[in-house]
């Protein structure tokens, strides 16, 4: 697995990362890390890799666009001296174009989105072991739906930037699309965006798979205890 003892992973994002985490940075005891996929990642690492003390930091803030995240990126990501950075942003960039069409100054169009995310990558890439780019998503199977079609543009931008800058790309849109072929999106999120714990677990699994997580890592220890 990629993460080593005493590594720090900072998860930057919006509400799907935040999910009631402490502000502006959530970590440590009680529910400070929130209840998103970040919590599931922390749980899984602690269960399967107890010998590795991996510090998990939630730097998600609900409602953020890439513009908002970039404005606080120095304070909430770079200044924390992470070993790994995970960036999951873009849902609100697209969403505001549809739920607030008369407020253009709150909307972040694809061109600016690309610039914002690329700046986040460049500003930290020489300071960390690696960067995860987690795609935005919309749990709508109809690709011709206007918001799904726009969201796919943002997903492709993430894919391209991850490839250009040698980042690890996690395609949440594809993951949800495959899952929703079996179960309807309402099973995970009524608004097709904010996941319940099933969705959070799916996201955590997709992230950990890209990190080389081994579900059998601690199996030998468990067997010996039996």
pLDDT per position as a tens digit, 130-164: 999 999 999 999 999 999 999 999 999 999 999 99
What percentage of the chain has pLDDT greater than the value 70? 96
36 is catalytic: no
CA distance 217 to 215: 6
Q: Which domains does the chain possess? A: 8-225 (3.40.50.1110)
User: Which residue out of 7, 15, 68, 76 is catalytically annotated?
Assistant: 15
Q: Is the pLDDT of residue 220 over 80?
A: no
Model pLDDT, residue 226: 47
Residue position matching structure tokens 């174009």: 97
- The pTM of this model reads 0.94
> What DSSP string runs through 31-69?
TTT-SSHHHHHHHHHHHH-TTS--EEEEEE-TT--HHHH
User: Which residue out of 123, 145, 165, 194 is catalytically annotated?
Assistant: 194
Q: Is the pLDDT of residue 225 over 70?
A: no
191 is catalytic: yes
pLDDT per position as a tens digit, 40-80: 999 999 999 999 999 999 999 999 999 999 999 999 999 99
User: Which residue out of 79, 99, 163, 191 is catalytically annotated?
Assistant: 191
């Amino acid at each position: 697995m990629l993460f080593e003892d005493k590594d720090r992973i900072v998860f930057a994002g919006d509400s799907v990362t935040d999910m009631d985490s402490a502000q502006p940075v959530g970590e440590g005891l009680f529910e400070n890390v929130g209840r998103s996929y970040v919590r599931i990642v922390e749980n899984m690492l602690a269960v399967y890799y107890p010998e590795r003390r991996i510090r998990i930091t939630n730097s998600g803030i609900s409602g953020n666009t890439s513009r908002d995240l970039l404005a606080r990126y120095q304070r909430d990501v770079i200044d924390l001296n992470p070993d790994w950075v995970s960036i999951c942003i873009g849902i609100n960039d697209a969403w505001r174009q549809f739920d607030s069409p008369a407020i253009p100054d709150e909307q972040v169009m694809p061109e600016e989105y690309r610039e914002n995310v690329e700046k986040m990558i460049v500003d930290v890439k020489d300071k960390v072991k690696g960067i995860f780019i987690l795609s935005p998503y919309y749990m709508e199977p109809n690709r011709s739906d206007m918001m799904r079609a726009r969201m796919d543009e943002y997903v492709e931008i993430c894919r391209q930037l991850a490839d250009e800058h040698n980042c690890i790309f996690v395609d949440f849109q594809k993951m949800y699309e495959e899952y929703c072929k079996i179960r309807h999106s309402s099973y995970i999120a009524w608004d097709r965006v904010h996941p319940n714990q099933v969705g959070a677990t799916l996201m955590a699994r997709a992230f950990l798979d890209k990190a080389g997580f081994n579900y059998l890592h601690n199996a030998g220890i468990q067997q010996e205890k039996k």
